[in-house]
Structure 1
Amino acid sequence: MFTEISLNPRLLLGLEKLAISEPTEVQSAVLPLALAGKDVQVCAETGSGKTLAYLLPLLTRLLDNEARPNSGTRALILLPTRELANQVHKVCKLFSEFVRPDSGLICGGEEFRYQASLLRKNPEIVIATPGRLVDHLKRGTCDLKSLEFLVLDEADRMLDMGFAEDMDIIISACNTERQTMMLSATLRHEGVGRVARKMLKEPAEITTRAIEEQHDLIVQQRILADDPAHKDRLLVWLLANETFEKAIVFANKRSEVERLSEFVRRHREGVAMLHGEMSQDDRRYVMQMVREGRRPILIATDVAARGLDVEGMDLVINYDLARKADEYVHRIGRTGRAGKAGLAISLIMPYEWNLKASIERTLQMMMQPRQIDGLVAAYKGPKKLKSSGKAAGTKKKKDSKKDGAKKDARKKSSEPRRVGKGPATPKPAKRTNLMDGAGFAPVRRQKREPDAE
């Protein structure tokens, strides 16, 4: 129960309004340590309640300790994507009715001048994405010297997206006397350990379920396809015949997302798309339509793989297979949330077979093979090499020795005989009926016979 944890009473009122009474596993582990002021490194799967795990102790400590005179921003929450930043900001605003600390959202897609004016008001909590925050730091519109709390959520994702240098710039601009919490879905990422050593001081390490673990409530299937046109037919069939409240289709490229959204709209209604080149207003509109059920089918790139918490997302289709195991797990993690069952289907073309096998080895699981009547692929997977057994292998080995001996005998017979210690005299080349390999026989002058009289 949250009542057994030393949270600020006003936060308990907010939790009661949100009908949240029991902490999750990661919240029970993190809250006491974070409230005690310890640096924390957390590894937990997507959808485990990590947001409240760091937000509740952060708000409690801001409420219980008055701000220093003329201090600036007191807490920074850094996130990899706009969608995740918006989600955390939305949770903060839910508690604004009961708590004093105000929050500001700083991410791409918003007007820079508006954000600069927001930062001049010194919001106690700044929720930001790395790229836009670095822009403000370079222009001097953001001051982190008074920072008391730093949270890096989805740190592994930020590193994967190429924000390592931006993270170093941000960390160097922060007050060194601060409490830091770093959260990620995996500990296997090389950069996670490097960042942790650099920014955390004797952290308490907490691991619930690692990203590599199989999602028990998610049925994972794979369907073989011969080519993109075959994948298109499979996708339309699945969206027409599977039972789902909401579905998300993943493609690896923006151009493919745009093509698929146009294609699926010819067969189904309620289709939306999401990719990184869309404006912030468009992305918010799309997600609002998906959450309300007016667009139950979302076609997206990996920008939607993390940070989207949409209820009723019970079908995931990997039109393009994820490039790495952790991205695959984050994709299928959109379903099977909050104890509900989900279905994840991957469409596999011949060139994706090895990638599928690599993901299965990493996650130590096997996707269930599936076929659809009338849409069965000619491709059946890689051909297995026939083995003739141990006896056959032995015989083959002996035969190979005999063949080698015969080759050596032929080689010795063809070598010119050496006399003394001088160099071998090369054998004269045999005359051939071919001229320069051209394929023509030379014309031989025949002896002319006397004309018959």
Structure 2
Amino acid sequence: MRFDELSIPEEVRQGIREAGFTECTPIQEQTLPLSLSGKDVAGQAQTGTGKTAAFLITLFTRLLENKGSKQQPRALILAPTRELVVQIEADAQLLGRNCGLVTQAIYGGVDYMKQRSALREGADIVVGTPGRLIDYLKQKVYSLKGIEMLVIDEADRMFDMGFIADLRFILRRLPPYDQRQNLMFSATLSQRVMELAYEFMNMPEKLSVTPEKMTAERVEQVLFHVSRKEKFPLLLGLLRRDGMERTMIFINTKREAEYLFDRLNANGFPCRVISGDVEQRKRMRILDDFKQGKLPILIATDVASRGLHIEGVSHVINYDLPQDSEDYVHRIGRTARAGSEGKAISLADEDGAFFLEAIEEYIKDKIPTEWAEDDLFVHDYVRTPRPKRKPEAKPAGGRGRSGDRPARSGSGGRVKPKPAAAAAPSAPAPAAEGATGETPAAKKRRRRRRKPGEKTEPGSSLPQGE
């Protein structure tokens, strides 16, 4: 189906042409006839197949047909991650540049007051993550009473990241479900997601594209079984052999990602790391450098496995196999997007092999296995020390590692000293041992603190008179 065959306003058609789109993808072909007629849709499709364009075209068409006030948002798009929000806003600016509609992105990690002011000034479309949207909503910066259209993207990720309570908080403050249009799109639609759809949507049409195979058609998958010690030598060999121009390497933990970053840079492969605790502005700069080709390799934890549309990613490498089977689909979906081709390489070590069976069961396919020849491993590489773990902070007012107890209340912040040992009773000393007739242990027990003004005899630790 071509976009020209659909009933779309000319302003939207012009944006589609400027974006270079002519024919609908499978998910767009199934979704647009239903959504443009006003029906609610819950759509499932592989990542990178055009779900974002499907709901944006519907959204622009509805808002242009129904004129409304610009003082309050008319459409709300909810996404689980900041990267996905930024990507949706960029696509909205591209497709809707001729529609005269104001789109505002709301997410954490950037200027709080700047976003607050922009939202107060008014926007037709708000794209945001649940947390900051709720923050501004409680401050009454904006209202949800004028929402005509709701879009939930990557709803299953909302559950995975613990946003379901925040999502329900927002949905309960929208107009009734039959007074707005609702669209939900995701790469996977689980039972719990569909329960959410039936609760907050108006009899949604469930669409599924190519459910028999979860992974994208044009992704060439390959698996190497390798020991933990041989993973990095094999990775270097693969990078040198294939000359990967734009590669994403996924790893399970932030600490291991930083270690891999040090090793790759030391061996002549420039790269950067993005993870959940990287400051938002820095994260966006890294992604821009990667998109523009200034950065050949990007190391990422699963925070970056969804929602990133980056042109020309030639290879995705699972340095660690993901523990969640769904994350495998989203990781390799970063390549072979919009009809292009790509390659996904996975390295299964002693731990990762335990996740392989569940992954293959989920994607309903076996991952082809290759065995690396000895000459593919690189052994003359530069070694770097593993970063040390940061010391744990001592709890305030609690015990430290040495077992120190907190000061008692009422002591002025000082720890009460231990009481001095009681003086030994005056009894005849046992058999003489040395000049004093006492053992060193007995001397120690008999010592007591001197009173102010007392003097000791030379060579004795006892006060005068004893």
Report the TM-score when normalising by structure 2.
0.77
CA contact (8 A) 1:273 1:299 kept: yes
- Farther off after superposition, 106-115 or 136-145: 136-145
**How many matched pairs?**
374
Q: What CA deviation, in whole Å up to 9, does each residue of 1:234-255 have, x standing for no partner?
A: 2222112124331110001112
**Deviations 1:277-302 (Å, cap 9, x if unpaired)?**
11221111111111111111110011
RMSD: 1.8
**Residue correspondence of structure 1 range 83-232 to structure 2 within 5 A:** 83-176=83-176, 177-187=179-189, 189-210=190-211, 213-227=214-228, 229-232=229-232
The reply to whether residue 276 of structure 1 matches residue 284 of structure 2 is no
Larger CA deviation: 363-372 vs 193-202: 363-372
Aligned position for 2:427: none
Q: CA deviation at 1:376?
A: 8.9
**1:139-176 per-position Cα deviation (integer Å, ceiling 9, x unaligned):** 33231111111000111111111111111011011111
| Contact 2:46/2:187, CA 8 A, preserved across alignment | yes
The verdict on how the C-alpha distance between 1:49 and 1:216 changes in structure 2, with shifts beyond 3 A counting, is closer
1:80 aligned partner: 80
For 1:7 and 1:239, how far apart are their aligned partners in 2?
46
Conserved? CA contact 1:30–1:40, under 8 Å: yes
Change (3 A) 1:266 1:215: same
Aligned AA (2:183): M
What do the CA deviations read for 1:318-364 (whole angstroms, capped 9, x no partner)? Answer: 11111122110111111222333322111111222221122112222
Contact 2:42 2:207 in 1 (8 A): yes
Query: 1:360-399 counterparts in 2 under 5 A?
Result: 360-374=360-374
Percent identity among equivalent residues?
37
Which residue is equivalent to 2:352?
352
Kept in 2, the 8 Å contact 1:71–1:146? The answer is: no
Q: Using the TM superposition, give the Cα deviation of residue 137 of structure 1 relative to its aligned residue in structure 2, in angstroms.
A: 2.1
Name the CA distance, whole Å, in 2 between partners of 1:96 and 1:295: 30
Letter in 2 for 1:334: R
Residues 1:55 and 2:89 are matched in the alignment: no
The letter for the 2-side match of 1:213 is: M
Give the Cα–Cα distance (whole angstroms) in 2 for the partners of residues 58 and 51 of structure 1: 11
- Stretches of structure 2 lacking an aligned partner (at least 5 in a row): 378-466
Native 8 Å contact 1:186 1:210 kept in 2: no
CA contact (8 A) 1:211 1:329 kept: no
Question: What is the CA–CA distance in structure 2 between the aligned matches of 1:315 and 1:107, rounded to whole Å?
Answer: 29
Over 4 Å off, 4+ runs: none
Match of 1:381 in 2: none
Q: TM-score, normalised by structure 1?
A: 0.79
The letter of the residue matching 1:61 is R
Partner of 2:172: helix, strand, or coil? helix
Aligned partner of 2:437 in structure 1 is none
Structure 1: give runs of 5+ residues left out of the alignment. Answer: 378-453
CA deviation map 1:26-60 (0-9, x unaligned): 11221121121111111111011111101011111
Separation of aligned partners in 2, 1:84 and 1:371: 36
Normalized per residue, which structure has more helix?
A: 1
CA contact (8 A) 1:231 1:347 kept: yes
Q: Measure, in 1, the Cα distance between the counterparts of 2:200 and 2:12.
A: 28
Distance 1:105 1:237 in 2: 42
Partner of 1:256: 256
- 1:170-200: CA deviations, max 9, x gaps? 101111121110111112x232122111111
Contact preservation (8 Å) 2:198, 2:204: no
Separation in 1, partners of 2:16, 2:34: 20
Alpha-carbon spacing, 1:211–1:191, altered in 2? closer, same or farther (3 Å)? farther
Please state whether the residue corresponding to 1:173 is helix, strand or coil: coil
Bigger mean CA deviation after superposition, 89-98 or 48-57: 89-98
CA contact (8 A) 1:212 1:362 kept: no
Give CA-to-partner distance per residue, 1:61-100, whole Å, 9 cap, x none. 11111105x8511000111111111111111212453111
SS in 1 for 2:151: strand
Q: CA distance change for structure 1 residues 42 and 317 in 2, over 3 Å: closer, same or farther?
A: same
